[in-house]
Structure formats: structure tokens, C-alpha cells
Amino acid sequence: MMRRRRRQAGMEDPSENKKREMYQFYTQIYDSSFDKQKKKNLLTSIAGWEKWSWRVIGISVQAVGRILNHKGHARVKSELVRDHFFQTRSETYNNMLKKKLDFKTYWKEFWENDHTILMTKEEHNKIKMDKFTGLWDHVSDKVFKIDWRLGHFTSNKVAGFHFTKQQEGNFIMHNFKDKIETKPDLSKNNENAVYYIKKF
């Protein structure tokens, strides 16, 4: 059983009022005379900087290994990225701007595609090509599920996501340290290079 952190345990979905407010902004943006890119930027703004924005529902095996390698220290944060793995934000907003959506359709499009996977920057930078070549076809081999309602890796008020050794670092150390193993990375010209795999 995963250990909770006290500070934000029991996070909840957005309130109905919040959803309706976001939808109202969406319709105003849709009807505006702004060009498409500005509309997409505004849609990003109304959906961001909430605790549940870009909610993390999984973490890659490589990200777990990186955190463990740093013993959970917050300095590892600079090596990690929340990735809209299942559908890019650009695709989501394009879908919202093809035609004006009713409230139910709008919220379904947004909420089902705002979740993310925490991964390394290297994985993030190669994700489009690696998905195209099939390296992510078996996602369950590469990702551990995380319950976002436990309150880990939440959005900061200005930019990025929350990560401290006491909270997220210890959460990963306690729950995943015995679930991966280290392998030498022979593809790199570095005898210290490693990669990580799940233990099955």
C-alpha cells in the first residue's frame, strides 16, 4: 500500500463551480476574434496552476531510477518532466477549437487528456519518435501507476511542480525502491551509464 503524505492527502476533483467557470471562459475564448495560437495560449492559462493541473497518474521506470539514484533529493527535479503522454495539449486544444463544445463534451475532452506521466527529460525529448517506433507500445512495462489524489508532484503556483525530499522523494523511496533493478547501458560510451527495468 502506498504511503500518503499528510500535507495534501485526499485531493479531490475540481468543484462543479470551477468546471462551469472554466467552461464559460472557454466559450468566450472560442467566440473571440483572437487567432488560433492565442486562443490555445488562453486555454492553457485557464486550465493551469491548479493543484490538479497536469495531474501525475504514472511515473516512468527511468524517472524512479533517477530519483533513487539521488536518494530522493530535490535536486533530481531538474531532470524530470511531466509529459502529456496520452494526448498532447496542442491536440486537446485543437479538438476544442474545431467546433464549440457543450459543457459535458468540453470537460470530458479536457479532464481525460490533462493527466501526465512523470519521466526523465531524455525520455520526454524523444517521446514522439520513440512512440512512433513502438518503444512505448507496452506502457505497463515502462510506467508505475500513481494515484494523483495522494497529492504528489502537484502544480506550483507559478511554474513547474512540487518536489521535496520529505514528500515526493520519500514517497518514491518507500514505494518503489524494491521494484526496479539497474542494468549497464552498453549503448553509451560511458562505463558508468545505466538504465532501469521493472522487477517482475
Question: In which domain, by residue range, is 35 found?
Answer: 16-198
The answer as to whether 176 is a domain residue is yes
Helix (H, G, I), strand (E, B) or coil at 107: helix
Q: Is there a domain that residue 5 lies in?
A: no
pLDDT tens digit sequence for 77-115: 999 999 999 999 999 999 999 999 999 999 999 999 999
In Å, what is the CA distance from 101 to each residue of 57, 106, 109, 173?
26, 5, 9, 43
8 falls within a domain:
no
Does residue 55 belong to any structural domain of this protein? yes
Q: Give 77's DSSP letter.
A: G
Kindly compute the dihedral angle of the four CA atoms of residues 113, 117, 121, 122, in this order, to the nearest 10 degrees: -100
Average pLDDT, the chain: 92
pLDDT in tens, 137-176: 999 999 999 999 999 999 988 789 999 999 999 999 999 9
Does residue 11 lie in a domain region? no
Residue 21 lies in a domain: yes
Tally the domains of the chain.
1
Which cell goes with 115? 493527466
156 CB-near residues (< 8 Å, 6+ apart): 49, 162
Residue 171, in any domain of the structure: yes
In a domain, 142, yes or no: yes
